[in-house]
Amino acid sequence: MVSRTTDDYEAMVYAGCAAVCEPAFWAGFDRSGVEGFRDYFCQLTDYEPKRAAKFGLPHFCWLCINPKESEDTVLAEEVIAIIPEFLDRPTVLGIGEIGLNKNTRNELRILERHIDLAARNGQLVLVHTPHLEDKFKGTRLILDALKADGRIAPGRVIIDHCEEHTIGMVLDAGYWAGITLYPESKTTPARAVDMYEVYGLQNIWLNSACDWGRSDPLSIPKTALEMRRRGHSEATIDQLVYQNPVRFMSQSPRFTLGA
Amino acid sequence: MNRQQVLDLYFMDARSKLIDIAAFLDRVERAEGEADFRLDALRKALELVGSGEGDKARRVLLSLSDPTTDPIAKAFGKGACGAWPGPPKE
């Protein structure tokens, strides 16, 4: 949300969104040093919750160096070293979105370092899976890395951006499967509902992207509308778009929607 | 939903997307110069769409995916192009 205007927060509230959780993300350009990340983490944990609060929207976040910047392992190690300074802040849910981008050895090494950081600090984990032709291979490598470490219970990890060729392996391994809705890439509302109809409600979390590219902060309400068009009950819609993410995030003591 | 309801809800959308693909292929074929691996990948994926077998979305996605299992030594750029070009040339 850091690259969006307040109009988006207002629209989300009007559409019934109850909270927003924002992963640490690539800025669209590589940051020049660790202090750029320190500023970014301050923005995610301090300024952005205040900005969202003006519209009555609770704001939570995840911290990491995104895999798009983890090819530079020296910088990545420096960033990982400062993350513990922020983990006790009241709106931090865990480590994310970590993962892989082009499935390189360096990215894999930094993924393992993030998994270690999360395990040592008892954090929830949000994992980004690669784009397009790299997603299938990357998802398999990520599952292997999590299994090899073995310290984090699968139920405390969400593997995000699942599509039809990866969601089965993620759910079979016991992890939460995130389905990300995008206007151009990843998944449309219709395909997201297809995946729910095939794989069921358990441990599936829908999310929208609100970044600096073409993305739609209202894609979750639009998916709820898609479910209504197909005749799904309000209780089912509520479980998929609201109760499931609340159930996952409530594993963090910092997650609360207030009274 | 039964099949009739699915058709009622989604046929026009699917028809529109199908014609978009057909028009895209016409556009590519009208253009001069060489194509690359992406066009072959798309044609192979379209064969899967036209087959009588189920699970089409998953099989199309797999046909466009890198099937290898080892991490690569180095990335040349951050982006993905939507189809796997095959193993690096020696």
Q: A137 to chain B nearest CA, in Å?
A: 6
Other CB atoms within 10 A of residue B84 CB: 21
Considering chain A, what percentage of its residues have pLDDT values greater than 70?
A: 100
- Whether residues B25 and B53 share a domain: the answer is no
Contact B67 A108 (CB under 8 A): no
Interface with chain B: mutation pick from A72, A164, A230, highest number of B CBs within 10 Å: A164
Find the domain containing A89 and state its range: 6-249
Q: Which amino acid is at A251?
A: Q
Quick: pLDDT tens for A99-123: 999 999 999 999 999 999 999 999 9
Q: Read off the pLDDT of residues A63-72 as tens digits, 9 standing for 90 and up.
A: 999 999 999 9
Q: Any CB–CB contact under 8 A between A232 and chain B?
A: no
Same domain, residue pair B56 and B42: yes
Q: Which amino acid is at A66?
A: N
Read off the pLDDT of residues A189-209 as tens digits, 9 standing for 90 and up.
999 999 999 999 999 999 998
Closest chain A residue by Cα to residue B7: A230
Tell me: do B20 and B38 sit in the same domain. Answer: no
**Per-residue DSSP letters for A56-78?**
T--EEEEES--GGGTTSHHHHHH
**pLDDT, position B17:** 97
In a domain, A99, yes or no: yes
The answer as to whether B51 is a domain residue is yes
Phi-psi region of A31 (alpha: psi -120 to 50; beta: other; left: phi over 0): beta
Q: Please, which residues have CB within 8 angstroms of residue A18's CB and are 6 or more apart in sequence?
A: A57, A58, A242, A257
- pLDDT tens digit string along A8-49? 999 999 999 999 999 999 999 999 999 999 999 999 999 999
What digits encode the pLDDT tens for the residues B26-40?
999 999 999 999 999
User: For residue A211, what pLDDT is reported?
Assistant: 86
The encoded tokens of residue A164 equal 């039809």
- Number of folded domains that form chain A: 1
Select from A31, A137, A143 the residue whose CB has the most chain B CBs within 10 Å, as the one to mutate to test that interface. A137
Q: How far is B89 from chain A (nearest CA, A)?
A: 18
CB A209 within 8 Å of CB A215: yes
Contact A133 B75 (CB under 8 A): no
User: Which residue of chain A is at minimal alpha-carbon distance from B60?
Assistant: A165
Q: Are residues B3 and B28 in the same domain?
A: yes
**How much is the pLDDT for A240?**
97
Is residue A239 predicted with pLDDT exceeding 70?
yes
Q: Is the pLDDT of residue A144 over 90?
A: yes
The Cα angle at residue A78 between residues A73 and A84, in degrees rounded to 5: 125
pLDDT computed for residue A196 by the predictor: 96
Cα–Cα distance for residue pair B21/B36, rounded to 1 Å = 17
What are the structure tokens assigned to A63, written together?
Answer: 């911290």
What is the reported pLDDT for B75? 87
Q: Are residues B16 and B38 in the same domain?
A: no
Q: Is the pLDDT of residue A259 over 60?
A: no
Q: Is cis: bond before A97, omega within 30 of 0?
A: yes
Residue A19 lies in a domain: yes
What is the average pLDDT value for chain B, to the nearest integer? 95
Tell me which residues of chain B have a pLDDT lower than 50. Answer: none
- Residue A5 CB neighbours (<10 A): 9
User: pLDDT class for A212, splitting at 50, 70, 90?
Assistant: confident
pLDDT higher than 70, residue A231? yes
Q: Are residues B5 and B29 in the same domain?
A: yes
> Does residue A139 belong to any structural domain of this protein?
yes
Between the alpha carbon of residue A170 and those of residues A129, A165, B50, the distances in Å are 11, 10, 28
Residue-range definition of the domain harbouring residue B49 = 34-64
A210 has a pLDDT exceeding 90: no
Mean pLDDT of all residues in chain A?
A: 96
Q: Do B1 and B29 fall into the same domain?
A: yes
Q: Do A164 and B58 touch (CB under 8 A)?
A: yes
Q: Determine the longest span between alpha carbons in chain B, in angstroms.
A: 53
Provide the pLDDT confidence category of residue A149 given band limits of 50, 70 and 90.
very high
Q: What is the structure's pLDDT at B90? A: 58
Q: Are residues B2 and B22 in the same domain?
A: yes
Q: Are residues B24 and B40 in the same domain?
A: no
User: In terms of domains, do B27 and B53 share one?
Assistant: no
Q: How many domains does chain B have?
A: 2
Based on the fold, state whether residues B48 and B29 are members of the same structural domain.
Answer: no
CA A188 and chain centroid, separation: 17
Judge whether A1 lies within some domain: no
A230 within domain boundaries: yes
pLDDT at A131 over 90: yes
CATH at A245: 3.20.20.140
User: Does A71 contact B75 at a Cβ distance shorter than 8 Å?
Assistant: yes
Angstroms from B76 CA to nearest CA on chain A: 9
Least confident segment among A179-183, A223-227, A242-246, B8-12: A179-183
**Chain A residues touching B54 at Cβ < 8 A:** none
